[in-house]
Structure 1
Amino acid sequence: MLAMLVQLAVIFSDYYWNVGELSRLFVEQETGRLASGVGDANGGVTYRLPEEIEQRYSNAKTGYIARIRDASGKVIFESCDDACESRFLPKEVNPPDFWLRTLIPGKPLTLVGGRAFFVGHQRIVVDVATMGDPQNVISEVFWNEILEHMIVPMSILLVLVLGATLLSVRRALKPVQAAANAADLIDPLDSMSHLPIQDMPREIAHLAVAVNRAFERVGELMKSQRVLTSGIAHEVRTPLAAIKLELGRIDHPRARKAEADLDDLVDFVSQLTALARLDSFDHGMFEEIDLAMLCSEVVTQLAPWVYENEHSLELSIQAHDVFVKAVPALLKDALRNLIENAVRHTPNGTNIVVRVGTKCVEVEDRVASVQQAPADPVYRSDGLGIGLKIVERIAELHKGSLRNTLTKHGHTFYLELARTEGR
């Protein structure tokens, strides 16, 4: 657009100060308008003055005169008296295809000229003259020239340039879009997960390489943190086992209380170890499993323990043949954590229902009495909430999610999983 404006200014100044070029354009365009009224009827020539210039050439006193002749010199149209006839070439002279003569140099234009046209097979000559250009026709001539030879071609070029630019930019940024999509799937703990740099512009490829290095550092930090957590948990388990063994030899109620507290601590350390090792499992362990069958196995395994804690456990399969791509051991751990969480944090007599739906597994605890149902969801946090953290992480690894709702009867946890395509 800037180049177009500069070119427009250059052409404007060139045409405006070039009186000779403006005179030539005036003769070409005016004779063309006059010639547009010439017609061919039954081998003869007819003429009708175009409406756009009818007022200009209606008489010889408007400052513009014109004459149209055929090849034999016969006048077809004339808006000139005998006094102005001397300005044109004599009728007996066969004029050239184009001629121009300046009567008074400079502006406003005072000139006479002519141009030859062919109507069918007949040659006609259109002569035109202006005395001072009182209607400023030269401005119309000038802007017509600018429009036809500058604005229209440059506008087309501008559209083509913009279209080509947008197309080239979109094509150049396709690898960037692919890298953005790949960034959403990056796992810092997976050494094979990184941003692709092939077919990417060089400048952006440098950024992708830097991002890959940053993810590598993040992965190394996460691995070192997991190793540290796992190591601490492993070292603590041995002294805890020794303490529990010593407490078992003491016959005292306070020892039994301490032993129960120690069991809770052992469970917490076990969950901490499980959380630390969760990201180190083999990604090749994913397989297609029947969700209803897996839930049935977990419920069957935990039912005796649930009954011992004075709760009831129910399995409701609302959708059969629900297949998911999962690691069976991890999915069992997630469901087991949700059931154990419901048992530990609800009053005795609570009915725990496991439902298998088309999109998720629900674990609901229905308290026998509404008055016993806790209204504050904070009671779900077992210490640091490690159990639910494990379930959330397992759901993330299976490209799912964990959410919960609080009702007047208790809580409902929804473990949502991605179904296998086509099943």
Structure 2
Amino acid sequence: MSDHPVFSLERRLVGRLAIANAIVLVCAAALYLWRGYTHHEAFKEGSELTAWFVHELVSDVAPLMIPLFAATLVVTVLTVRNGLLQIKTMSRQAAGFEPGLLSNRLPESGIPQEILPLISAINAGLERLAQGFETQKRFTASAAHELRTPLAILRARCSGQECPVSRMVADDISRMARIIDQLLAVARLETQQIVLDNPVELQAVCERVIADLYPLASDAGRDLGLWAEGRCKLGRGNDIVLGEALRNLVENALRLSPRGETVEIELLSCGIIRVLDHGPGVPDDKKAEIFQPFQRGAGSHGGGAGLGLCIAAEVVELHGGRISVMDRPGGGAIFIIDLSGAASPSD
């Protein structure tokens, strides 16, 4: 970090221009008095000279110079502020740049030529960043896609073997396949390949997730339950990716809940889905972090990569909602998918 202190360019420019104006006005007043003095030889001696000087200063110089200085100060302030307004506007635009909005650029038209090279350099840097992000996303999607086929072959070869080692390898392959599917989901979200063009019945999404995960829950010694307050739907959405988001939450709850417990899914009529578990819960300082990529909550174990909750959060946000987590009374966590702003009662 630089040792130079931060300063206000506006205040510095106004201050220096005000000092320059004051010097000019003082010099002009001095010249005016000097010319008057040289044209009044009779007042060169004694108190008459002092009286004349005070009279000229009070009656002629001050009434002219003070308003003139005030006017030049006002004009200076307005000119400096107007000149820096574009910089402040571009600063607000730059503050809105995000990884998903790297196509935005700072305007280069109507910019003073003194700062145009800086704006051009910033835009060129953003272009390089955008290209780097795009290359990274394409690589992630391609690598994940290419890995699916060999993993499917390995899984097929292990499925016919009954030895414990084969079962362990099959489990590892399943976890790897799950991570690859999550990477593909992240790549599709980042490249905006998710189409939201169909109505989505939220109860149907919940029922499908439970049907898909019930065998997994049963094998793990857990149970799944659904309680629906009423039917509601989204006018536009994608039931597949929304179901994947809910599946991530339910899988997480199943993994963290003790054997013999029930993971509950509640669908409220206002469009809020709640997933309740009996796990260790989420510490307060981690409640926001766990929705970031590659973050894993307390008590997590297994082969997860910490992408499930991140994917769920992005999918919910894509559907106009938000996701959060809170403590469950008596222990555990409640994950909340709030789609109330986009949901409406079903016909």
TM-score scaled by length of structure 2: 0.70
SS of 2:132's partner is helix
Measure the CA separation in 2 of the matches of 1:281 and 1:201.
36
Question: How far is the alpha carbon of 1:335 from its aligned partner?
Answer: 1.8
SS of 1:379's partner is coil
Give the number of the structure whose alpha-carbon radius of gyration is greater: 1
1:180 aligns with 2:108: no
Structure 2 residue corresponding to 1:387, chosen from 308, 311, 331? 308
Structure 2 residue corresponding to 1:303, chosen from 210, 217, 222? 210
How far does the alpha carbon of each residue in 1:89-122 deviate from its partner, in whole angstroms, 9 at most, with x for none? xxxxxxxxxxxxx7x5512255xxxxxxxxxxxx
Measure the CA separation in 1 of the matches of 2:113 and 2:197.
40
1:243 aligns with 2:148: no
Q: Decide whether aligned partners of structure 1 residues 297 and 183 sit closer, same or farther in structure 2, where only a CA change above 3 A counts.
A: same
Question: How far is the alpha carbon of 1:269 from its aligned partner?
Answer: 2.6
Measure the CA separation in 1 of the matches of 2:153 and 2:344.
53
Give the letter for the 1:333 counterpart. Answer: E
Please give the residue correspondences for 1:5-404 in structure 2 after superposition, counting only pairs within 5 Å. Answer: 5-12=23-30, 14-15=32-33, 18-19=36-37, 106-108=44-46, 136=51, 138-170=53-85, 172-173=86-87, 176=90, 179-180=93-94, 183-184=97-98, 187-188=101-102, 193-282=104-193, 285-287=195-197, 289=199, 293=201, 295-308=202-215, 309=217, 310-317=222-229, 323=234, 326-347=237-258, 348-356=260-268, 361-367=272-278, 373-374=279-280, 377-380=297-300, 383-395=304-316, 397=318, 401-404=322-325
Q: Decide whether aligned partners of structure 1 residues 203 and 404 sit closer, same or farther in structure 2, where only a CA change above 3 A counts.
A: farther
What is the root-mean-square deviation of aligned Cα atoms in Å? 3.9
The residue number in structure 2 matching 1:39 is none
Question: How far is the alpha carbon of 1:338 from its aligned partner?
Answer: 1.4
Question: How far is the alpha carbon of 1:138 from its aligned partner?
Answer: 4.4
Structure 2 residue corresponding to 1:414, chosen from 324, 336, 339? 336
Give yes or no for contact 1:176–1:204 (8 Å, CA) kept in 2. no
The structure that is helix-richer by fraction is 2
Q: Structure 2: any 5+ residue segments left out of the alignment?
A: 1-17, 283-296
Q: Decide whether aligned partners of structure 1 residues 322 and 303 sit closer, same or farther in structure 2, where only a CA change above 3 A counts.
A: closer
Give yes or no for contact 1:288–1:420 (8 Å, CA) kept in 2. no
The structure that is strand-richer by fraction is 1
Higher relative contact order (CA 8 A, sep 6+): 2
Question: How far is the alpha carbon of 1:399 from its aligned partner?
Answer: 6.8
Alignment size in residue pairs:
305
Percent identity of the aligned residues? 21
How far does the alpha carbon of each residue in 1:71-101 deviate from its partner, in whole angstroms, 9 at most, with x for none? xxxxxxxxxxxxxxxxxxxxxxxxxxxxxxx
Give yes or no for contact 1:314–1:352 (8 Å, CA) kept in 2. yes
SS of 1:183's partner is coil
Q: Decide whether aligned partners of structure 1 residues 259 and 165 sit closer, same or farther in structure 2, where only a CA change above 3 A counts.
A: closer
Question: How far is the alpha carbon of 1:203 from its aligned partner?
Answer: 4.4
Measure the CA separation in 1 of the matches of 2:272 and 2:327.
16
